[in-house]
Structure 1
């Protein structure tokens, strides 16, 4: 129980640190981009941020919905990406937490902040009074539109993720396998290998 609590705390702290760093990076990049473009392109940037959140939310749901059994048969045939797909499913809780809570929530926050910047640009370009009814109505409409697109998009993405979880995770597995093979970057560790090593050490000590 203490070991489980310790691991949970360590994971929570690591996720918090990663979220802080990624949120800062997202905020800096989005502000730099939005300050250099017109409001039309700014809206396009906001939509891209929303789509990123929807996409990663879909990946997180797919990881929790997928079953690792089909991937074992594929791994036995040495299909590229199958073994990594198993890793994703086995670590679905952490993978989903990163995709849904970290990237998904950051995208939601940043899209709101980015939309505020776009609204300021619109107000300046069209010479609107900041306290006018038109400016207020435009602000409410744009904010509501982004919220509707985010929630509606995530709802659609979840249905796709649940229905095609195996295919989605397999494609992600292939990408992550390529990254590990090509750049030697281990994104998700193989917990089974870890357990085997631990059991071997215990056997040797006994």
Structure 2
């Protein structure tokens, strides 16, 4: 019981620190990107931030819905990315927490802040009319919220039905990342020994 509590506390503390760092990085990047750009470009940036949140939400849901078994057959045939996919399956709770809660929530917060910046830019471009600002604020905020919620609703259904393909593609991407940066088994290592035993049985 104590070991479970300590592991949970350690993970929660670590993910809180990661969230703090990532939120700061994303905030700085979005501020730099939005600084001095036209409001139309600003809108595109906001929609891209929303898209990032939706994509990571899809990955998080797929990680919890996917079946690990198909990847063992791939691993026995040494298919690139299969080991990383198995590691994702075995750490589904942490993957979902990172993708859905960390990246998803950060994207939601940053998109809200970015929306306010775009609305201000649009208002200044139109001459600073208060009524215009009020109307634009309602419309743009509503559109961003609708795209976020609607995108995640569609994404969840998509993730559940195509979870195997999604996680396999994520595994391949991680494999390429490991190979390019020479981080051998950096992501798949948590399941290392157990994975090797299962692979040998196939």
TM over 0.5: yes
Structure number, greater radius of gyration: 1
1:133 aligned to which of 126, 131, 134: 131
SS of residue matched to 1:137:
helix
CA distance in 1, matches of 2:15, 2:37: 32
Q: After TM superposition, give the deviation of residue 189 of structure 1 in Å.
A: 4.4
- CA distance, structure 2, for counterparts of residue 122 and residue 39 of structure 1: 6
**Where does the alignment leave 5 or more consecutive residues of structure 1 unmatched?**
197-206
Unaligned stretches of 5+ residues in structure 2? 196-202
In structure 2, the residue matched to 1:163 is 161
Q: Deviations over 1:108-153 (max 9, x none)?
A: 0000000000011011110123xx3321121011111100000000
Q: Name the residue aligned to 1:2.
A: 2
Instruction: Report the TM-score, using the length of structure 1 for normalisation.
Output: 0.90
Question: What is the alpha-carbon distance in structure 1 between the residues aligned to residue 134 and residue 15 of structure 2?
Answer: 37
Paired residues, what number?
A: 194
2:174 alignment counterpart:
176
Alpha carbons 1:176, 1:187 under 8 Å: kept:
no
Give every structure 1 segment of 4 or more consecutive aligned residues whose post-TM-superposition deviation is greater than 2 Å: 184-196
CA–CA distance in structure 1, aligned partners of residues 189 and 65 of structure 2: 20
- 89 and 195 in structure 1: CA distance in 2 versus 1, 3 angstrom threshold: closer
Q: Is the contact between residue 161 and residue 168 of structure 1 (CA under 8 Å) also seen in structure 2?
A: yes
- Specify the alignment match of 2:86 in structure 1: 86
1:204 counterpart residue number: none
Q: How far, CA to CA, are the matches of 1:37 and 1:163 in structure 2? A: 39
